Amino acid sequence: MGSLLTDLKYGLRAVRKAPGFAALAVIVLALGIGANTAIFSVVNGVLLRPLPFEAPGRLGQLWHVPPAKSFPGMTMFSLSAANYLDWQKQNDVFERMALFTGGNFTLTSGSRPEHVFAARVEPDFFPLLGVQPKFGRTFVAEENQPGHDREVVLSYGLWQSHFGSDPKIVGQTVNFDGQNYTVIGIMGEKFHYPSWAKMWTPLAMTPAEREVRGEHHYLAIGRLKVGVKFEQAQT
């Protein structure tokens, strides 16, 4: 304690003699500590802490490998619908596969209009990840057809912020972009995939959309079969 008090007195005298230098030192230390904290948070969340899904070591994301001549320096890009569907038919390494993409909606039900980022997903999306909703259910195959896709699963955050954490919202109708959607489920607080999604709706591609190969705006995930290695899937 004696040494600590001596050091504190010396530090205070130094601060009085050169307050500008002391302030600069404090700022540099604060920036350094803040940067290291942010980096550790990312590394801990992405690399050290396991993903909050069932058997995360068997999960992978699927990408196209672009032609080197057309896209020099690019190693991967998003998928086209028709190519993914071919992969799905020929698949022998994944237990499940699921396609998804983004969507923008304006929520007009409730207390105020709100712009909402959504993920349009195939029915296998949630079972593939091994997650269950906090309330209600997720999508079934029949809801992945155009004209039968007016169902929505809410994120925990949107449920809290816009619907006052009311579990009775499940089964009720809400309005997005002038269309009525039935709330069928609410995900748990820890589920954030993809990270930008505040809600999920059925993908419900039309026959014409399923045939498109030249537009690459879909993402896909897969769960390896037991015993299959990622090297096999890559091949």
- For the stretch 95-145, pLDDT in tens is 999 999 999 999 987 667 889 999 999 999 999 999 999 999 999 999 999
- Residue 115 has which token pair? 């712009």
- Whether this prediction's pTM lies above 0.85 is answered by no
Same domain, residue pair 83 and 33: no
Q: Identify the band that residue 30 occupies on the pLDDT scale cut at 50, 70 and 90.
A: confident
The tokens of 74 are what?
């690019």
How many structural domains does the chain have? 2
**Do residues 159 and 95 both lie within one domain?**
yes
Give residue 16's domain range. Answer: 2-48
Residues 86 and 141 grouped into a single domain = yes
199-202 and 114-121 as β-strands: parallel, antiparallel, unpaired? Answer: parallel
Q: Residue 235 domain-assigned? A: no
One domain, residues 219 and 189: yes
225 in the same domain as 199? yes
Q: Are residues 135 and 156 in the same domain?
A: yes
Pairing of strands 135-136, 199-202: unpaired
| Same-domain status, 95 and 21 | no
The string of DSSP letters for 109-176 reads SSSS-EEEEEEEE-TTHHHHHT---SEE----GGGGSTTS--EEEE-HHHHHHHHTT-GGGTT-EEEE
State the DSSP code for 50: P
Q: What is the C-alpha separation between 111 and 115, in angstroms, rounded? A: 13
> In degrees rounded to 5, what are phi and psi of residue 146?
-55, 135
111 and 93 in a common domain: yes
In this structure, the answer to whether residues 74 and 123 fall within a common structural domain is yes
Examine the domain organization and report whether 29 and 72 are in the same domain: no
Query: Both 67 and 136 in a single domain?
Result: yes
Same domain, 21 and 91: no
Percent of the chain scoring above 90 in pLDDT: 63
CA angle, corner 71, sides to 70 and 72, nearest 5? Answer: 110
